[in-house]
């Protein structure tokens, strides 16, 4: 059975990405099969995890998928692996920020989506990465506080990061002894591992190319040299003995979108052959990297044929395309190239005009606008996308304001926003979503559902089944 451990920290910027990614890569070098995970809705770290572990990086987010799915999803993503390494988010106990009500903060969501919650749901021990700059014996107080805050959570060891000297390390080890925690490694101060960043965090691994591989290799070298890998692995605990989540079970047999093959079947109106499942084009490549691995798995389980299209290279949609998924990403970093690919823009516009199902989130929404930062885009939506003056960030409890190929009107979901952009108008005649504290947002028109809101498909597999069924209907003669 796969065993798991969680890499966490007291705060963001402590070095947990370096330790977690380096640990994944270092263990893989030794021949250990590693399953990589990230707590929360982050899309960027899993790209580096995938490079490190050689298998898809996956997210574990109790807010977006429900606490009951965390164990099953971890089992699904760990199939065939010996060790699951879960990188935390922010500080160990930081989760969804509670909303304010009647002038006072509500504690109803305190800790929801936190690394501590995920570690508890998995029964996994926590390795705490501490940035030790400017600290010596105070480390003992910090560790004591983190251990005692939640007695049900097992903090099993500490990795000292940014250690200045041997003398500094000796003092820190003595402090950890006082707190009763073993030191699993001590990483020296080093600036060579810096990975380029932008307004939403790291540059994605797909964009960073060979340099991303180099950064992962450097992390692996650092961790292998300064962390006791055997001691870390020995701490890992078996994943919960629950049935693994499966895409087929999630969509259910009734959700399958295929229809029987019949002798003499002719191509559908989009060129697809009836009976083989509808082709669903999924934008990918460097401009559209913000997707969950479970999405294409669910589409396939629902009977569709997901095919990746890179709008920086491909000039058309696959033959027989019956539906289109446009995930998030950084299209704004590739505006000139996207605008220059007029054949693909025209194909997307034509597909949307036909009434075929089109699902766009965040970066995908920007691509469907008439303009992005002044450059012409697909023109599916009568909207202009411009840079906003501030970051929009946070979980949203949203309700669907109109029927779409994904959600019936009135469906309630948990979603997440993370962008520096705005569109004008903010919503179409029929908006995609509404939530407390904001006006209607997004667009539902024909078969198009476009919004800044990200949802996790594993949290709403019925929406994927509904989308695949709509694609199958569009593919029929």
Coil, helix or strand for 220?
A: helix
Output the six-digit token pair for 188: 């020296």
pLDDT at 314: 98
- Asked if residue 197 has pLDDT above 90, the reply is no
Decide if 3-238 and 248-475 have a common fold. Answer: yes
- Asked if residue 254 has pLDDT above 50, the reply is no
Helix 210-226 vs helix 16-29: crossing angle, to nearest 10? 90
**Length of the chain (residues):** 477
Give per-residue pLDDT as tens, 286-345: 999 999 999 999 999 999 999 999 999 999 999 999 999 999 999 999 999 999 999 999
For residues 9 and 13, give the distance between their C-alpha atoms in angstroms, rounded to a whole number. 9
Give per-residue pLDDT as tens, 424-454: 999 999 999 999 989 999 999 999 999 999 9
| Average pLDDT estimate for 218-237 | 97
Give per-residue pLDDT as tens, 146-166: 999 999 999 999 999 999 999
Quick one: which H or E segment has residue 4?
Answer: strand 3-8
Does domain 3-238 sit in CATH 3.10.310.10? no
Q: Pick the range with the lowest mean pLDDT from 23-37, 90-104, 170-184, 248-262.
A: 248-262
Give per-residue pLDDT as tens, 31-66: 999 999 999 998 889 999 999 999 999 999 999 999
For residues 113 and 436, give the distance between their C-alpha atoms in angstroms, rounded to a whole number. 20
CA atoms within 13 A on the CB side of 62: 22
Output the six-digit token pair for 363: 């970066």
pLDDT at 211: 76
Give me the chain's average pLDDT, please.
90
Q: Pick the range with the lowest mean pLDDT from 49-53, 237-241, 255-259, 336-340.
A: 255-259
pLDDT at 99: 65
Model confidence at 111, pLDDT cuts 50, 70, 90, reads confident
For 248-475, the fitting CATH number among 3.40.50.880, 3.30.413.10, 1.10.10.1800, 3.40.50.2000 is: 3.40.50.880
Do 163 and 189 meet the contact criterion of CB atoms below 8 Å apart? Answer: yes
Cβ burial 186-206 (10 Å sphere, 16+ → b, else e): bbbeeeebebeeeebebbbbb
Higher pLDDT pick, 263 / 476 = 476
- Asked if residue 465 has pLDDT above 70, the reply is yes
- Asked if residue 257 has pLDDT above 90, the reply is no
Q: Which of 362, 453, 465, 472 is catalytic?
A: 362
- The whole model's pTM is what? 0.91
pLDDT at 204: 57
The residues spanned by each domain of the chain are 3-238, 248-475
Active site residue 362: yes
């Amino acid at each position: 059975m796969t065993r798991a451990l969680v890499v966490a920290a007291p705060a963001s910027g402590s070095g947990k990405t370096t330790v977690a990614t380096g640990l994944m890569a270092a263990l893989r070098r030794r021949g250990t099969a590693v399953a990589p995970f990230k707590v929360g809705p982050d899309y960027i770290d899993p790209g580096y995890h995938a490079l490190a572990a050689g298998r898809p990086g996956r997210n574990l987010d109790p807010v977006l998928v429900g606490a009951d799915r965390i164990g099953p999803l971890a089992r699904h993503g760990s199939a065939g692996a010996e060790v699951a390494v879960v990188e935390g988010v922010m500080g160990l106990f930081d989760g969804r920020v509670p909303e304010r009500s009647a002038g006072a903060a509500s504690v109803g969501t305190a800790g929801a989506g936190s690394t501590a919650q995920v570690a508890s749901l998995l029964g996994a021990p926590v390795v705490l990465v501490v940035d030790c700059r400017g600290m010596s014996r105070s480390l003992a107080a910090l560790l004591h506080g983190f251990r005692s805050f939640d007695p049900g959570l097992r903090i099993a060891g500490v990795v000292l990061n940014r250690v200045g000297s041997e003398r500094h390390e000796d003092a820190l080890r003595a402090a950890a002894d006082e707190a009763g925690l073993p030191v699993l490694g001590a990483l020296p101060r080093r600036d060579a591992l810096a990975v380029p960043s932008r307004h939403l965090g790291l540059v994605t691994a797909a964009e960073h190319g060979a340099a991303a591989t180099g950064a992962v290799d450097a992390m692996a070298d650092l961790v292998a040299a300064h962390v006791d890998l055997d001691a870390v692995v020995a701490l890992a605990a078996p994943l919960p003995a629950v049935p693994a989540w499966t895409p087929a079970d999630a969509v259910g047999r009734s959700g399958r979108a295929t229809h029987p093959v019949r002798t003499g079947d002719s191509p559908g109106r989009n060129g697809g052959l009836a009976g083989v499942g509808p082709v669903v084009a999924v934008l990918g490549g460097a401009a559209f990297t913000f997707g969950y691995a479970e999405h294409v798995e669910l589409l396939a389980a629902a009977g569709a044929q997901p095919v990746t299209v890179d709008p920086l290279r491909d000039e058309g949609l696959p033959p027989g395309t019956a539906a289109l998924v446009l995930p998030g990403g950084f299209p704004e970093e590739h505006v000139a190239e996207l605008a220059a690919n007029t054949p693909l823009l025209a194909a997307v516009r034509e597909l949307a005009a036909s009434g075929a199902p089109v699902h766009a989130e965040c970066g995908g929404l920007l691509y469907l606008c008439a303009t992005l930062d002044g450059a012409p885009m697909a023109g599916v939506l009568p909207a202009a996308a411009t840079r906003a003056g501030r970051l929009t960030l946070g979980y949203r409890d949203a309700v669907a304001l109109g029927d779409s190929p994904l959600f019936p009107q009135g469906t309630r979901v948990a979603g997440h926003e993370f962008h520096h952009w705005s569109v004008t108008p903010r919503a179409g005649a029929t908006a995609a979503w509404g939530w407390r504290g904001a006006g209607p947002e997004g667009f539902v028109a024909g078969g198009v559902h476009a919004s800044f809101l990200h949802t996790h498909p594993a949290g709403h597999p019925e929406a994927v089944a509904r989308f695949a069924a709509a694609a199958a209907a569009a593919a029929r003669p």
